[in-house]
Amino acid sequence: MKKSERAVTIKNILDAVYPVTPVPLKHDDTYSLLIAVLLSAQCTDERVNQVTPILFSLAKNPKEMSELSVDKIYEIIKPCGLGPQKSKAIHKLSNILIKDFNAKVPNSFEDLERLPGVGHKTASVVMSQGFGVPAFAVDTHIHRLAQRWGLTDGKSVKKTETDLKKIFPKDSWNKLHLQIIFWGREYCTARSCYGLKCKICNLCYPKRKKPFIHKKP
C-alpha cells in the first residue's frame, strides 16, 4: 500500500470512529485554552482539567491572573508538574497580554510563540482549537502513530508535522490532530500494539511481524 493510500485508509477509519472531536481540555475562551495547553506539557489532560477550574475561579482573564502572586499560581498548578516554570510563565505572559495585546490572546503563530512557556506545539493547539486556523500540532501520540503507520520517518517532531501536512488535506488537519490522539490513547498506546495489533496498523502493514520501535521526540 502506497503512503497516499494509507493516508486515505487512516482518515476514513478515524472519521468513522471519531465523527465528533471535542477538545479534551476544558476552556471557555482562548485565554483559558492557552493556559490549559501550557499546563498540559508533560501532564495528562485529566489532571489539567482537575486543576484549571480552581485556578480560573480565582483568575479567569489576564488582568486577574496578573494580580495573583507567582507563589499562589504555583500552589494551585503544582499537581500538573513543572510548577516553578509554568507558574512564572503564566504570570509573565498574562502581563505581556495586558501590555502588548490589550489583554487578548494574539491570533498569530509569531506572537504566540514569543510568549513565555509557549512553544510551537502550544501555539498550534491554540491557533487550531481556539481560532480555527489549520494547524497540525504534533504530540507524543501523533509522533508515534505517524511512524507506525509509515507516514514519516520520525527524525524529528518538526519533520513529522511537515510530512503529515503534505499528505493530508489542509481542511482536515485540526480534526485529524485530535482523532489521531484519541486513537493513540485508546487503540495504539505506547506500551501496546507496537504496530502489530490495532486495526489501522494491521491494514497499513498486514505482513509486519516484529514490533515496530518508533523514534521518540
The full length of the chain comes to 217
Amino acid residing at 58 = L
Angstrom distance (rounded) from CA 119 to CA 122 = 5
How far apart CA 161 and CA 136 sit, in angstroms, is 6
124-141 per-position pLDDT tens digit? 999 999 999 999 999 999
Residues 39 and 127 both lie in one domain = yes
Q: How many domains does the chain have?
A: 2
C-alpha span between 178 and 125 (Å, rounded): 10
Does residue 189 form part of some domain?
yes
For residues 62 and 75, membership in a common domain is answered with yes
pLDDT in tens, 25-45: 999 999 999 999 999 999 999
In this structure, are 143 and 127 located in the same domain?
A: no
Asked whether residue 212 is domain-assigned, the answer is no
193 touches 187 (CB < 8 A): yes
pTM: 0.95
CATH number reported for the structural domain that contains residue 150 in this entry: 1.10.1670.10
Q: Are residues 65 and 126 in the same domain?
A: yes
Q: For the chain, what percentages of helix, strand and coil (3-state, to nearest 5) are there?
A: 60, 0, 40
Within 10 angstroms of residue 131's Cβ, the number of other Cβ atoms is 15
**Which domain does 200 fall in, by range?**
3-21+136-204
Q: Cell digits for 74?
A: 504555583
Sorting pLDDT into bands at 50, 70 and 90, what band is 217?
confident
| Residue 213 counted as domain residue | no
Cα-based distances in Å from 127 to 7, 72, 111, 112, 209: 24, 28, 11, 9, 40
Domain for residue 215, yes or no?
A: no
Residue 217 belongs to a domain: no
CB hemisphere CA count around 21 (13 angstroms): 19
User: Same domain for 34 and 126?
Assistant: yes
| Residues 172, 122 share a domain | no
